[in-house]
Every structure is written in C-alpha cells, then in structure tokens.
Amino acid sequence: MTKTLRVSDPSELLSLIPYQLGFEPADSVVLVSLRGPRKRVGVVARVDVGDLSGPHKEQCAAELINHAIADDASALVVVGYSREENPLGDGPGSQFYWLYDAMGCLATMAAGRVPVVECWVVTNAQFGHFRVDGECVRDGEDIYSSGVAEVLHRIALNEPKAYADYLGVSLEEVHAAVEGILEKRAGAGHREDWPTIEVCQEHAHPIERLGQTAVAAHMVFEGCRTDRSRESLGKIAPAAQDSRAQVREAYEQSLVEQTTEKGFDWQDEALEIWLNAIHPVKPVPLSLSQAGMLTCALERIPLRDAVLISCTSLGAHGAREFLAQYVDANPEQRKVDSIARRAIGEITDPSIARRPDIEHTEAVRKVLSELVSLTPPERHTPARTLLALLAWWQGNLTLAQRHLEEAGLHPGTYGLADLIASAVDAGLAPGWCRQQNVA
C-alpha cells in the first residue's frame, strides 16, 4: 500500500520532518526542498548548528543548497531546532544566536538561486517564526536583513574563548578567523546593541500540535516511527547470547555445505527461506538454523541480488527466475542482467521508478534487522547494505547513511554500498521522488 501525502500546512510539514529523517532533530538546522508548482516535499537534509556557524559554514551551506538544486527544488524551507527551555538564554551566548546565524547563512547562500519561502524555529515547548528586535522573520529575505551575522562576528571578536568552546576549535583558529573578519568588515558599521532574538508569539504554537496533524496520524497508522536522536538511529540490539551461538553454528555448517555438490540446491533453499519469511499474507518466522543459513547465503552475490529483486514489483517470481538463470547459464550466455537492471531501475530510474510498498518493505526490514541482531558485526555487511538501500528507496537518506556507517565498510570493497553512498553524498533522491517532479 502506498499513499502520496499532501503537505499544505506548516504544521503538517514540520510534523513530517522527523519521520523523513528517522529521528527527532535537536540543535540542528534542517533544509527541506519543495518541488514544482504543487510544492511536493523532496530531499530533507539536516546538519548540526555548529556546521553552519563555524569557519567552513559557507562551504557547508553551499553543499546543502546544491543538493536541493540537484533535487529540482523550486523553493526551500529552513527549520531550526533548539533544545533550550528558555529561548532567550543568557544573552549573546544563547544558542538562539548561533541557530539564527546558521539559518541566515543558508538563506544567504540560497539567495538568487532558490527562494527560501519559510523559516521556522522549533523548541521543546513551541514552534513558530523568529522575532528579531520585535520584527517577525518569516522567510529568507527577512532572516539575514537583521544583521545577526554581525552579532556572531562580534562574539568571535569579543568572546573568542566562548566561540572556540562552542565550535570545538582552538583559540588560535578563532584568532585567525578574527583577522579575516576584521579585514572583511573594515569600514563597515557595527551594531552596538545586542538584538533580542525570540520566538514570535503572534505566530507561535504549542509543540503538541505537531503530534496531532494528519501527517502524524498517517505515519502512526502506517507503523512508522522515529528515534530520539541520530545516535540511536539505525541501532539494532543484539539477540540473546545462546541464540547468537546457535546461529553461528548454523552459519559455519552452511559455509561447508555451499562448497559441496549441494551448493546450487542450497542456494535455492536459502531463497525459499527468504521468500517465506517476507510472504505478504502468511510470513514464516525464521528458525535459528535458517537465520544462520540465510546470513551465509547473503554473502554470495547471486543470492543477494535475488533478495534485492524480491523487494521490487518483480517479487518472488523475478527472484526465482533470476537465480535459476544465473545458475543454469554460462557466463557468456547469462540473461540475468535484464532482470537485475529492471529491479534497480524501479529504485533509481525516474522513467520506470515505483514507490516502495510500505507493508512489503517493512516485512523486508524486519527480517534483515533480525539477521543483524543474531550475528556478530563482521557478518552485518550484506544485511546492513540492503537496509541502507531500502532506507534510501524510501527517501530516508540519513537512515541509509547510518546503516552504511554501521556496516563499517571501506570505500571500494562493496559495490552496492558504494553506489548507495554516492547517492547519499550527492543528496540524490530515489527515482520515484524525481519522477513526481517530471510529471
């Protein structure tokens, strides 16, 4: 079952962001790309506040804007997240100053390229627009006109230690940055007063409202969930020690069996175990011996490709046909490429792309996560890579990246992982997302 969400209200969009990221952002800036005249939600990208307030903030902002442009964004929304209970904090050291400057850096970098149509701030208690010296800041044109960047520069000039501590850099680096600031700002006027930065109460709403939107209700109904932080995103707890020991024994036995005359039959059996486990009507739970066998089978490219194919609309029939042709054909005569290309095309190619089926992909995710929980980290690579592909296909680039990080791979050692990593690094959305904009 799939459904296109219509996000027409700011609270709907803000409630969608944690589900798109997979976790509740904090002390962060989130950039949302909107595509086409219907303003469909595209890439949702998050960075730490410090990344947009430090010495390389212009480079970081440029990369985010470039990702949005590559996603065919026609407009942008910038959202700042702060955990401060007291938004005003203790004056210029308040995180609101850092957060506002970070958002302003993004808005400035987007100027003349993609309009920033909305700017929001979300705290533990409320969400709304910023208000600077009594003026409400609603969009990109407003956010940088107040000159808060000047305030941040003066923090570096007058409170270099606080600036260094916040960014996690040395005082020497701050002093070097200050010299650049002085040179750049020579002759320019400076504000002598600290502006007041707060949430505009005229447009503020209680944070509880984000849990009461149609988008939030839909996500809960579909079984979607969010983690409390990025650090917990993609974490899979290990199963009981005795269960893992039995799986390890079955894995080692499978290593022997796959090298005997039973090798091809063993591979077919492993595929059937997989297909039964993800059956849409009557899934068959994995036994521990089957989990060990399947873990071993996923380390072989033919079975791993067949599993990938089974996740697409080609389903069980396509997976069986692929494996049969792979086994029966000579290398020069194989006709398996067309099946594999079709499956990858459904994920990556806008001309034939399909949205992932929510119920089917959730079944796949559960089985792969179970294999990760039952095996040691050195056996996680195949399952984690497929989980990363699944997350990217669903449009969750952050979760895809976390699965790749947990896999612990070195570039160039695993082709599919390199492909996913390249897409994530480029901010490239899956085919069905880009297809919407073409349509």
Query: Residue range 214-224: average pLDDT?
Result: 74
Query: Residue range 123-131: average pLDDT?
Result: 87
CA distance 31 to 5: 19
CB 122 within 8 A of CB 79: yes
* Model pLDDT, residue 88: 43
For residue 357, what are the CA distances in angstroms to 18, 148, 308, 310? 20, 46, 14, 12
Using pLDDT thresholds of 50, 70 and 90, give the confidence band for residue 158.
low
Residue of 395, 435, 439, 403 whose CA lies nearest to 421: 403
The encoded tokens of residue 243 equal: 């269960």
Query: Residue range 162-189: average pLDDT?
Result: 59
Q: Please report which helix (H) or strand (E) contains residue 178, including its range.
A: helix 171-185
Tell which wins on pLDDT, 43 or 165: 43
What is the Cα gyration radius of the chain? 25
Residue 249 pLDDT > 90, yes or no? yes
Q: What angle do CA 373, 407, 410 make, to 5 degrees?
A: 160
Q: Which amino acid is at 140?
A: G
Tens-digit pLDDT profile for residues 380-414: 999 999 999 999 998 787 888 889 988 877 666 67
Least confident of 249-253, 258-262, 267-271, 369-373: 258-262
| DSSP category for residue 90 | T
What are the backbone angles phi and psi of residue 287, rounded to the nearest 5°? -80, 165
Q: Please report which helix (H) or strand (E) contains residue 261, including its range.
A: none
Place of tokens 């947009």: 52
The encoded tokens of residue 93 equal: 């050291």
The encoded tokens of residue 346 equal: 């459904």
CB 155 within 8 A of CB 92: yes
Residue 185 pLDDT > 50, yes or no? no
Residue of 342, 280, 276, 270 whose CA lies nearest to 309: 342
* Model pLDDT, residue 217: 81
The encoded tokens of residue 381 equal: 């690579």
What is the rounded end-to-end Cα distance, in angstroms, of the chain? 21
Place of tokens 């990363």: 388
CA distance 232 to 24: 10
Tens-digit pLDDT profile for residues 15-42: 988 888 878 888 889 999 888 888 888 8
* Model pLDDT, residue 244: 94
Residue 154 pLDDT > 50, yes or no? yes
Strand 205-206, strand 197-199: pairing: unpaired
What are the backbone angles phi and psi of residue 198, rounded to the nearest 5°? -155, 175
Tens-digit pLDDT profile for residues 83-122: 765 444 444 446 777 788 788 888 888 888 888 888 899 9
* Model pLDDT, residue 190: 44
List of long-range contacts for 256-263, beta carbons under 8 Å, 24+ apart = 258/296, 258/297, 258/300
Mean pLDDT in the chain?
Answer: 79
* Model pLDDT, residue 90: 44
Tens-digit pLDDT profile for residues 329-362: 555 445 557 888 899 999 988 889 888 888 898 8
The length of the chain, given as a count of residues? 439
Using pLDDT thresholds of 50, 70 and 90, give the confidence band for residue 148.
very low
* Model pLDDT, residue 329: 55
* Model pLDDT, residue 3: 43
Residue 215 pLDDT > 70, yes or no? yes
Residue 147 pLDDT > 90, yes or no? no
Residue 155 pLDDT > 90, yes or no? no
